[in-house]
Structure formats: C-alpha cells, structure tokens
Chains A and B, each alone.
Chain A
Amino acid sequence: MSGPRVLVVDDEPQLLRALATTLHGAGYEVETAPTGEEALVQAAVRPPDAVVLDLVLPGKSGTDVCRELREWSDVPVLVLSAVGDEREKVAALDAGADDYVTKPFGIDELLARLRAALRRTRPSGEPTIEVGDLRIDLEQRAVFSGGERVRLTPHEFALLRLLARNEGKLLTHRAILREVWGPAYETESHYLHVYVSQLRRKLEPDPARPRTLLTEPGVGYRLVAPAA
C-alpha cells in the first residue's frame, strides 16, 4: 500500500538521498533523478503524481524542465529554490510550477506544500466555490462573505474567481494580470496591487492582516482558507 509517487530532482547527491529517505518514510513512493534531462525521461516513462524539482541544475534548469513538462503534463510541480533565486523562481512559476519552498526548508513545510499540491483540484464544473467563509457563485456572479453579499466590480470579481479556482496555489503577478486584464497588461503590476488592496478591504475582517488573500512578496498571491 504505497502512497502517491513523487519524482525528486536534485543534483546534490546528499540532499537527494536525504529527501528520498524522508519522503519514503512519510509514505510516498519515491523516484529520483540527478538532472533535468533524466527527470523528463522518467516522467514520460512512468508519470509521477508530483514532482519536487531543484531550480539550479546542471544542463537543463528547473525552469526549462517545468516548461517542457507542461507541454504534455498537468502533474503538480513543487520547486526548491534558494534566497537570491527570486527571478528564477518567478520564471519557474510562470513556466507552470505550482509552488515553491525556499532552502533550507523544514520537512513539515515541504510535506504540507506537497500535500496541498497533490490535493489541489483542477478547475471543476461546480457553479459555486467555497474558500473558508467565502462563497462565490460563478453563475450569478455573486460573492458572499460570512453569509453577507459583497459587491465587487467586474475586475475584482474576475481576480477573486481566478484565485478561488486555484485555491492554495501561488499565482504570479504576470499570470494574474494576463488572465484578468489581458496579455497587454502582463507587466502593469500596479493594477494588481490596487485591486488586491480593494478586495481585501471588502473581504478581510482586518485588511492590514490578511488571512485569506495572501501575498508572496515579489512573486504573487494565493487564496487560502484561513487556518482555524
């Protein structure tokens, strides 16, 4: 009775071994690859349920691997990055990675992110989405916070709908702008900051300490159900 299969990609043999042993101990079936090229071959031969991918690899980088993987696979990808790799991290997320953890990470954080990535459902045909005490009626274009109707502008609604459909997933500025405002607005991140701020005022009990619409500094936003 083995759990989901995880493909771990890292060029550091010691880290690869420590991660493989740990994930195996946590109930996952683990496969490893020391390079991006080998990872792509392995993922094609036996598609894994999730990929844990180091950003800095010899040869094909983590971002390259992400991009190529996304051409034929929706497998959740969790990126391992280091402080200082911000640009590369955003590039990987834009290339289709689902989330990242920053080295040196603890295993609780890693396991939580991995669980979330595996649990995440692709956009379904459900007419309503619930995140915490937020309820979004997609057909009626109505939003309720704690049972009370909240009035949103069309762009605010589009932004909230995108975040809610990807509950828990980190969306980059660029990805949100492209989805909500259109490809011509990909770099106009001030729109996004203004609208996120407006949404928080309407949805968060304490907009200065958001618990649902969270910021990943320099990277993007994610919508989560507040921890109880």
Chain B
Amino acid sequence: MTALGAGLFRIAHAVRPRVLPAAATLAAVGLVTGAIFLFREGVPVLSLGTLYVFAVLPVAVVWGRAYAVLAAVASMLAFNWFFLPPRHTLRLEDRQNWLALAVYLFTAVAVSDLAARARRRADEAEQREREEALLAELSLALLHGQGVEGELGRAGAAIAAAVGASEARLELGSVRGAAAGERPLALRTGDRRIGTLYLSGSPAQGSRGPGRERFLSALAALLAVALDREELGREALEAERLRLSDAVKTAVLRAVSHDLRSPLTAIRVAAESLASPSVRLSDDERTRQLETVRAESERLDRLVANLLDLSRLQAGAASPERELVAADELLAQALSALRDDEGRVKVSLPADTPLVEVDPVQIERTLVNLLENALRFSPPRDTVRVEVSATEDQVVFGIVDRGPGIPRGQLERVFEPFAQAGDDERSGTGLGLAIARGFAEANGGRVWAESRPGEGARFSLAFPLVRAAVGVER
C-alpha cells in the first residue's frame, strides 16, 4: 500500500513539471477559441484562424518548441471542430479548408520555432553575461587574494549560481572522484589538466554545448594563469631565500675565517719568533710572546666551542639536563669560568636564595657570554654590574655595562648569529649573544636587551622561579 503510494507520488513528482505547461497550452488555445467564437459573426471565419498565433507565440516563448507544436496542433483541431463545416466533426466539406489548415499549422510551427530560438539566444546571452561577470570577479579575487586554493573555496557558490547548479566545487590537480550526485567536468587548457569542476543539483539546468565549453576553458585558462603566477611567486621567494642563505653563509665563512686566522696568526708569529735565529728577544719579550700564545689559544678554543654550541642549538640537539640550582651558585660558576682577573665584575645578590630549574652547564655558558659581551663593550678597566633579583614568579640576572649602548633598531638584531650592532669589529663573530639566547630559551628562560645609546646596555636573563618545598631553617 505504502509502496503503491510512494510509486504514485514519484510518478506525480516526475509528471508535475510537464502538467503546468500542457494545461497552460490548452488554456491558451481555449481562450483564443472563445475569442474567435465572439468575432465569428462579423468576420469570415477562415481568416480568424490566424488568431491562434496569439496562443502559439507565448507558449513558444515561455516553454519552448515542443509545447508550441502542441499548441499549434490543438489550435487547428479546435478550429476544425468548432468553426469549419461540418462543425463538431473533424471532417471538412471544403477541400480548400484543408489547405488553409495546413498553412496555419505551418505558420504556427515556424513562428513558434523562431520565438523559441530567440528565447534560447536571450537565455544564452544572459548565461554568458553571468559567466563573464563570474570570471571577472574570480580573476580579481585570484589576483589580490591569498592563494588559489583559498579563493576557489570561496568561489564555489558564485560558480554554482553562474552555471545554474545548486552546488559547485573546484578541485585542482588530478581527479579525486566525484561524490554521489556530483557531475565532474574536466578543466584543461591545451594538454594541461588544471583540475575538475564538480556540479551537483539540477544538472539538467544551465547551458550546455559550446557555451559551457567556452566557460570551462575560460575558467581553466584563468586558473592556469593564477597557478602559474603563484608558482612564479613561490620560486621568486625561494630564490630570494637561497640568495639570503648564501649571503649568510658567505658572511659566516668570512667571519669565521677572520676570527680563526687572527689568533692563529698571532700564535704562529709569537711561537716562531721564540725559535727563529733572525729574531732576538729579551726575557720580557719572550714572556710577552708566550702570554700571547696562551691567550690566543684560549680564544681559539672559545671560538670553536661557540661554533659547536651554535650548531648544536641550530640542530636542536642541545637538550638541557635540568636540575634545581641556586641562582647565586650559577653566577659563581660563571664568574670563575670568566677568569675576571682584574675584578671588573661587581655582583649584587638578593637576601634570599632563589632557585631555578636549568641545565647548570648551559646557563653558565649563557652568563659567561653575556658577561664577556658586557666587558668587551665597556671602556677598559670600567666595571660591569650583575644584579640578581627575584620577583613573584621569576628570577632575573641583570648585566649592566657602560659601553656605547645599542641603537633602538638593533636591540633584537644583536642576538642573531654573526650580527653585531653597527660596523664595530670588536665583537668578533658575534656568536656569543646568539648562543646565550639559544641556551636560555632551551632552558625555559628569556634574554633581552635594553639600552639608551651612549649610556650603556642592560642585558636581562630571566627564568621562572621555582617554589621548591625546601625547609629553610631560620
């Protein structure tokens, strides 16, 4: 029972689109028949047959040729039945009337055909206009948008509206298979497959044939240009990146070469002078040359250690072994590693003993590098202050120098490897600060610089304060 009902419903559903135009066609024919009935007293009835054109024409314009032909045939049957003798039969007394009927029918069909064709042209023109507007809009979006993929996501609805589908989506690249109810349309320019346009919902609607082809190829060409443009942009970006990384490598090589060779040359010259028969040195001079060899060897060692640290940091291989350490102990280790023979570093510690959880070796390096940097940029024999302070949630090591300071725009740049403020060659390869920041961040800390040019700089190293449950005896 329900199956029968469903079947009937389906048939009604399928038939309904045709019922309305057919009924309207017959109504139009009936209307004209009525009009002829009114006029038939004053006018020869045969000439009134032309009035049926007024039924055929609107039907042709609105519903197309099939219904127009239906209207024409129905008109001639009605004319014959109601007005041509013998009336109320489909027979004809006068042979001439057959000819008249044939002429009417032919005229009606011809006129309906012209009308239907005009209608279709108008439809196509409108469709093309919609498509062109869409293409223009799409090309603008692709030109100024963020990327082809993203713009296509947004363009789906507009494409659907333009081609008269309920939904449309565009996939770039090779076909990924259509979902249920989707119709795939290939987008290509020349031999190149750009992607696929999937349409769903009322696929019978929308123009077909050459118009659709034209739209698809225009869309494909537009997408091809946009994709090529995007690719070129990417390549240009990549080329720029490579060029920059080349420039960085060259700078690194130059800096390392200069910084390795200077101490190496000093060592070689000093060492050879001690042995050369053509150089005569006093005892003082010998001591001085030996001191040069020692100091420059240490410098080389530090440089190599810095390079190693930096490459470990950049490879992400500097995994810290964190443990609870007292801030003042970290500072004490750093000061003993610094070999501050002249006592230029002055320290002020807080009353209590803040704890941090860091890798003591790495943070010792961080502090040493920050201190070395401060000493290097301070006037000789000038002091560098270290202030350790603890707030609610962090411990801060402040390293304050009275050097030339750092220009505002350079405050972040000084932490880049091989970068240094200004053209000053004193800072060597400029690895120290980069390593300090790398280790600090690997240990959950932060490093930053503040400065007023001409008044020195303050470098701060901060770590989260650890509230360890250490029972401090009072």
Contacts and interface: CB of A to CB of B under 8 A. Distances in A.
Contact of A14 (B258, B263, B268, B426): B263
Residues of B in contact with A, size category: 20 to 34
Contacts of B424: 58
A110 B278 contact: no
Contacts of A24: 285
Nearest to B269: A18
Nearest to B273: A22
A35 to B, nearest CB: 10
A25 B262 contact: no
Interface stretch (A101-109, A149-157, A174-182, A198-206): A101-109
B280 A22 contact: no
Contacts of A21: 270, 273, 281, 285, 288-289, 292
Contacts of A83: 257, 261
A18 B295 contact: no
A103 B264 contact: yes
B273 A104 contact: no
Contacts of B261: 82-83, 103-104
Contact of B270 (A18, A27, A105): A18
Interface string B409-452: 00000000000000111100000000000000000000000000
Interface centre among A56, A57, A104 (most CB of B within 10 A): A104
B339 to A, nearest CB: 15
A12 interface: yes
B268 A104 contact: yes
The secondary structure that dominates the A interface is: mixed
Interface in A7-30: 11-12, 14-15, 17-19, 21-22, 24-27
A15 B266 CA distance: 4
B266 to A, nearest CB: 4
A18 B280 CA distance: 13
B321 interface: no
A56 B423 CA distance: 12
Contacts of A127: none
Contacts of B269: 15, 18-19, 22, 105-107, 110
Interface in B117-147: none
Interface string A41-68: 0000000000000001111000000000
A103 B270 contact: no
Interface string B294-330: 0110010000000000000000000000000000000
A147 to B, nearest CB: 36
Of A18, A21, A110, most buried by chain B (CB within 10 Å of CB) is A18
A56 B258 contact: yes
Interface in A78-104: 80, 82-84, 103-104
B285 A25 contact: yes
Interface of A: 11-12, 14-15, 17-19, 21-22, 24-27, 56-59, 80, 82-84, 103-108, 110-111
18 contacts: A14-B295, A14-B299, A17-B292, A18-B292, A22-B269, A22-B270, A22-B272, A24-B285, A27-B280, A58-B424, A58-B425, A59-B423, A83-B261, A103-B264, A104-B264, A107-B273, A107-B276, A110-B269
Which 5 pairs of residues, A with B, have the shortest CB-CB distance?
A25-B279, A22-B273, A104-B265, A15-B266, A18-B270
